[in-house]
Copies of this chain bind each other. A is one copy, B any other.
Amino acid sequence: MAKKPLILVTNDDGITAPGIRALISVAKEIGDVVVVAPDSPQSGMGHAITINSTLHLDHVHIDDDSKNEYSCSGTPADCVKLAINEILDRKPDICISGINHGSNSSINVIYSGTMSAAIEAGIEGIPAIGFSLLDYNYNADFTAAKKVAKTVLKNALKHGIPNDIVLNVNIPNISKKDIKGIKVCRQARANWKEEFDKRQTPHGKDYYWLTGKFVNLDKGKDTDEWALENGYVSVVPVQFDLTAHHSIQQLNTWDFND
């Protein structure tokens, strides 16, 4: 019998979130599973790492059949670093992150703790996938998302993810039968139009809550936003070489000697 793949599972919503419990159940159908995830929600943490404070790691028992699960006081990227360096005795075959409660499509990839965990694994040479369901509810229905995660995970293990690439998988918030398929896409050009909610403390000092509206600036039918709006799962290959190679020529016309 072939050796089972070793699957590292993490997320940014915290180790008890229903999304990661769903992803763990998928991973257990396919391989040996180790979970290292934040002990509290870390949404919007981007690729933060903990360098000015200490990190704590606890062996935890959440489900009846959970043995290899660790909660970590740090960020999603910290979880991956600790898993690889302190917990696992060999390199995992794949790292999966999520299932996030909410979208990480388009520009949200930049702010996403879910994707930062996957990217951290990618940087360390481990194939990695982040999964997100477009439903922010704690009690979201992960039935369709689980099926998608299993399909993508099996493909990734079979075909291998290209080097230095991680996958950003977003799943529309519709029922399994309404999902039209899985599309490989590019990241749509979009941004957030911030609307700060300005309030006053009981002591009369101003403070702000960050809120905003997502604005899709990109009508391309090859984008993740188009796919999701039209009933498809989006798979965007994400790279961590951020060099805009195409603009190097233009910058070489600048005069740096004045």
Interface residues in chain A, defined as those with a beta carbon under 8 Å from any beta carbon in chain B = 41, 43-52, 54-57, 77-78, 81-82, 84-86, 107, 109-111, 116, 119, 123-125, 151-152, 154-155, 159, 162, 164-165, 167-168, 181-182, 184, 186-187, 189, 191, 194-196, 198-199, 205-210, 235-245, 247-248, 250-258
Contact = CB atoms under 8 A, between A and B. Distances in A.
A41, A47, A238 interface centre (most CB from chain B within 10 Å): A47
A207 B56 contact: yes
Contact of A55 (B54, B207, B241, B257): B207
Contact of A54 (B208, B238, B251): B208
A237 B251 contact: yes
A258 to B, nearest CB: 7
Q: Which 10 A-B pairs give the minimum distances between C-beta atoms?
A: A46-B47, A46-B46, A182-B256, A239-B244, A237-B244, A55-B208, A186-B243, A162-B247, A46-B48, A44-B51
A108 to B, nearest CB: 11
Given A54-B199, A184-B252, 7 more contacts: A44-B48, A46-B48, A46-B116, A51-B210, A162-B247, A186-B248, A237-B247
Contacts of A56: 205-208
A170 B41 CA distance: 34
Contacts of A207: 54-56
Contacts of A255: 155
Given A49-B210, A194-B85, A110 B254 contact: no
Contact of A241 (B51, B189, B254): B189
Contact of A78 (B81, B210, B253): B210
B159 A254 contact: yes
A244 B162 contact: yes
Contacts of A48: 44-46, 48, 111
A236 B240 contact: no
